[in-house]
Amino acid sequence: MDIQKLAQRIQAETEKIIVGKGDRIRLIIMAVLADGHVLLDDLPGVGKTTLVKAISLALGCCSGRIQFVPDMLPSDIIGMRIYNQKTGDFELRQGPVMTNILLADEINRAIPRTQSALLEAMEERQISIDGERFPLPAPFLVLATQNPVESESTFRLPAAQMDRFLIRISMGYPKPEEEREMLRRLGDHIPLEKIQAVTCAEELVQAQQEVGAVHVSDQVADYIVALTGATRSHTQLAMGASPRASRGLYRAAKVWAAMEGRDFVTPDDVKTLAHLVLEHRLVPDSGARFSGVSAGAILDDVLARVPASPTLGKAVSHEK
């Protein structure tokens, strides 16, 4: 399978209604092919939900949506057993999590207990109801949105859940020419009906499996380990990147290389994705927060300090 052409096909279809966000679309496609979850963290009205809807339609998979609210219960996500008076039995009512692409809209409006209901689903691709386990369909991906501005009726996502998102991205405001093109192309409504499915669940699963063949040299793997290790010993971080983060960066770099038409990973692939994969998992200590030092700035320092051999990109393709 040509991963590069598949990604281009999905992106071209999504861009029928999404203007000027090609880099974000490309990153979400990367996460999908890496079997990873995405957190879109940005202001209201910049197109987070529309982007997720458009990509879901282009992927040709079953999709579901959960609008998170403070009084939501875990059973509203995973489902529950309900007593049927006619049959005298408890019947399973599946929750919206039983889908391929789950839009978790404004995920930070739910209480931590409800947010934690997604942890098992996001990591193990299964849910548990009354002690019985149910596998989720493949692929299963959470594309979540959150509003970073409002504090009323919002709850900070726990570190365990942040760690389960492969990448965190923001949309940003469009450029004037992009916003003008958006107005001309979309008019008074968003024509989601223009988006056609250009792939399917089976093809995506096959692509996820074939990405495993992309070569990662020992030197590049050591570079990933060195980066994540440096965050764990950094004096300004209370919590560094986890082994799950290392695996995520490793997997994301392989997909990125495949989308570039290569069958090997270079250090530049790792650097390109480092902020997207690692930054949201880092927790600055109290001194750094008091001084206004962000996790992104600390990660910049780590990237500057951890060397990557400039010859790696030339060497890795010959090591197989």
**Using CA atoms, how far apart are residues 23 and 17, in angstroms rounded to an integer?**
15
What six digits make up the tokens of 5? 């052409």
**Using CA atoms, how far apart are residues 55 and 47, in angstroms rounded to an integer?**
12
| Average pLDDT of span 5-24 | 93
pLDDT at 125 over 90: yes
Q: Mean pLDDT of all residues in the chain?
A: 88
pLDDT at 192 over 90: no
**Using CA atoms, how far apart are residues 311 and 314, in angstroms rounded to an integer?**
5
Q: What percent of the chain has pLDDT over 70?
A: 95
Instruction: For residue 192, give the DSSP letter.
Output: G
Banded model confidence at residue 153, pLDDT cuts 50, 70, 90: low
pLDDT at 320 over 60: no
Residue 139 C-beta-side C-alpha neighbours within 13 Å: 27
Banded model confidence at residue 63, pLDDT cuts 50, 70, 90: confident
| Average pLDDT of span 296-312 | 83
What six digits make up the tokens of 260? 């570039």
Pairing of strands 101-105, 141-146: parallel
What is the model's pLDDT at position 37?
96
pLDDT in tens, 217-259: 999 999 999 999 999 999 999 999 999 999 999 999 999 999 9
Question: Rounded to two decimals, what is the model's pTM?
Answer: 0.89
pLDDT in tens, 254-278: 999 999 999 999 999 999 999 999 9
What is the model's pLDDT at position 198?
95
pLDDT at 315 over 50: no
What is the model's pLDDT at position 151?
58
What is the model's pLDDT at position 28?
95
What six digits make up the tokens of 218? 């020992």
| Average pLDDT of span 295-300 | 95
pLDDT at 82 over 60: yes
pLDDT at 317 over 60: no
What is the model's pLDDT at position 155?
79
pLDDT at 310 over 90: no
Banded model confidence at residue 94, pLDDT cuts 50, 70, 90: confident
| Average pLDDT of span 43-56 | 85
Radius of gyration of the chain from its Cα atoms, rounded to whole angstroms: 21
Kindly state the helix (H) or strand (E) to which residue 125 belongs, with its residue range. Answer: none
What is the model's pLDDT at position 172?
82
Q: Can you say how many angstroms the Cα of residue 186 is from the centroid of all Cα atoms in its chain?
A: 27
Mean pLDDT lowest for which of 53-67, 117-131, 180-194?
Answer: 180-194
